[in-house]
Amino acid sequence: MTACNSSENGVIRVMLVDDHAILREGLRALLRPVPDIRVVGEAENGVDAVTAVAECAPDVVVMDLDMPGGDGATATRAIAQLPKPPKVLILTLHTEEEQLIPLLEDGASGFLSKHTAQTELVEAIRVVAAGDVFVRSSAARLLAANARPQPRKSPVDEARSQLAQLSGREQSVLRYVAEGYSGVEIGRILGVTSKSVDTYKNRIAQKLGFTHRTHYVRFALRLGLISDDEHRHSTDEPGRHLRQPEP
């Protein structure tokens, strides 16, 4: 880790983090003639980077990902937890946006390919320093797709999705419970023991969170598995219309 350098007011303070000294020197040379950017410190791994950030107070950290002695992803998450964290610009050889985008959720402000750093680094530093996110257009499209709010399901559609989680036998047990049949009666209809019926009910409870018969009734009514009339009859005289298994 190098000593921290001072900078003038209005200048973007930048820290370079990479395990290759030659690359750091190349980045420093690239930024040296830029009047509104000054490199105030360097680090060769993620662990040193976290310490250097606290000492040098940069505005932007240009962070490599793959470094021995402390990777950039872990350092980015640690830096994001600091009281006044700087912006972190990931500099990487990786091209898979799906792998890099989670870093934005962990506190990074953008990522830049090492292959395009010579032409895009200055712009990327200015963008993230201003509080914006710097990503390639393909990543921006992916971010937009992930951030796009999904249409909310109607109660009926939600119930259908839940019903689809149940096996055919579990759906039958759900309907019979909603209609008011006892475990013994359901077992007789389905040709299984009442203990097996209890097992099916436990599975329904695990999948749908049902703990009381009213949950079964409301759910079945919502999907039209039973009618209000059937529900009223089953409430008054449980199991009075004992039916045979459907083919």
Cα distance between residue 42 and residue 228, in whole Å:
72
- The Cα angle at residue 24 between residues 128 and 99, in degrees rounded to 5: 55
CA count, 13 A, side-chain hemisphere, 54: 11
Distances 44 to 67, 127, 210 between C-alpha atoms, Å: 8, 24, 55
Give the pair of three-digit tokens for residue 122: 């200055």
Using DSSP bridges, classify how beta strands 60-64 and 37-43 pair: parallel, antiparallel or unpaired. unpaired
The predicted structure's pLDDT at residue 123: 92
The predicted structure's pLDDT at residue 217: 86
pLDDT tens over the chain, length 247 residues: 555 666 567 899 999 999 999 999 999 999 999 999 999 999 999 999 999 998 899 999 999 988 887 888 899 999 999 988 999 998 887 665 556 667 877 888 888 888 888 888 999 999 899 988 887 655 554 554 554 455 666 778 888 888 999 999 999 999 999 888 889 999 999 999 999 999 999 999 999 988 888 888 889 888 888 765 554 444 444 444 434 444 3
The predicted structure's pLDDT at residue 197: 94
Domains in the chain with CATH codes = 12-147 (3.40.50.2300), 155-236 (1.10.10.10)
Tokens 């009618």 appear where? 227
The predicted structure's pLDDT at residue 243: 42
The predicted structure's pLDDT at residue 99: 63
The predicted structure's pLDDT at residue 188: 94
The predicted structure's pLDDT at residue 96: 54
In the sheet with 87-92, reading across from the earlier edge strand, the strands are: 37-43, 12-17, 60-64, 87-92, 110-113
